[in-house]
């Protein structure tokens, strides 16, 4: 399953899961200064709802209007890198 982390607008992210090019599910959430917690909570909710494993996401991509020098982008990219490291160890 593919996961797209889409920065929809300032303070809102949409998680979109794709399987074979078709949208399986989507989940929107808003954040202020707590993106790390909100991202983990939203991904966990998405995984449980769709009964999938975190390591089944391949690839994970970031889309939308986000400044690549922003803290929000850095947090999301750090989480993606962590998932990649977990996959290598599995």
Spatial separation of the C-alpha atoms in residues 73 and 62, rounded to whole Å: 9
Q: What confidence tens digit (pLDDT) does each residue in 3-49 have? A: 999 999 889 999 999 999 999 999 999 998 899 999 999 999 999 99
Q: What confidence tens digit (pLDDT) does each residue in 21-30 have? A: 999 999 999 9
C-beta of residue 47 within 8 angstroms of C-beta of residue 11: no
In sequence order, which residues have a C-beta less than 8 Å from that of residue 38 and are 6 or more positions away?
A: 13, 29, 30, 31
As a whole number, the mean pLDDT across the chain is 95
Q: CATH number of 2-89: 3.40.50.620, 3.40.980.20, 3.30.420.40, 3.40.50.11290?
A: 3.30.420.40
């Amino acid at each position: 399953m593919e996961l797209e982390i889409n920065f929809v607008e300032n303070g809102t992210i949409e998680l979109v899961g794709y399987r074979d090019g078709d949208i399986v599910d989507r989940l929107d959430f808003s954040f202020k200064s707590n993106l790390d917690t909100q991202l983990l909570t939203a991904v966990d909710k998405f995984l449980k709802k769709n009964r999938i494993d975190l390591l089944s996401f391949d690839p994970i991509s970031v889309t939308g209007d986000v400044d690549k020098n922003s803290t929000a982008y850095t947090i999301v990219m750090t989480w993606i890198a962590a998932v990649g490291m977990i996959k290598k160890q599995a």
